[in-house]
Amino acid sequence: MIRVFDAFSGIGGFRSAFERVGGFKTVGWCEIDRFAQKSYRALFDTGGEQFYENIRDIDTAGLADFDLLVGGFPCQPFSVAGKRLGTADERGDLFFELARILEAKRPRYFIFENVPYEKMFIRDIMT
């Protein structure tokens, strides 16, 4: 059984796929949008799982162990449809929260998804 932490869970796209495939157990999830939280809870049995509203507030020392970290961090700062402010947008640095959790917990696997990145984002990360 692969234990999963579902960051930026939305209404559970990753989780839905994992439940269809089988062999995965969600141990925790994180979602800031209250309407998405309500939908997630309506769609899935979240009893006994850790829940965090804001990824910035996660204390990794108290975070359950997991094998797989998944997350689709906000795309607005990077999307060609947006202003493309990258890390200058307050949501643009949320990627680094995933990196912080990866570094602290060292899961065997991770999957991050987002829009295609502009060169400016890569430059922001490298500087």
- Checking if the pLDDT of 123 tops 50, the result is no
4: its two tokens: 């999963």
DSSP for 1-27, written as a single string: -EEEEEET-TTTHHHHHHHHH-SEEEE
pTM: 0.82
- Which residues are part of the catalytic machinery? 75
Residue 46 has pLDDT above 90, yes or no: yes
Domain ranges of the chain: 2-126
Distance CA 103, CA 115 (A): 23
Residues forming beta bridges with residue 112, ordered by sequence position: 71
Closest CA to 101 of 61, 74, 73, 72: 61
1 band by pLDDT with thresholds 50, 70 and 90: very high
CATH topology of domain 2-126: Rossmann fold (3.40.50)
For 22, phi then psi, to 5°, come to 90, 160
The DSSP line for 17-65 is: HHHHH-SEEEEEEE---HHHHHHHHHHS--TT-EEES-GGG--GGGSPP
The pLDDT confidence band at residue 116, using thresholds 50, 70 and 90, is low
Q: How far apart are CA 54 and CA 119, in angstroms?
A: 28
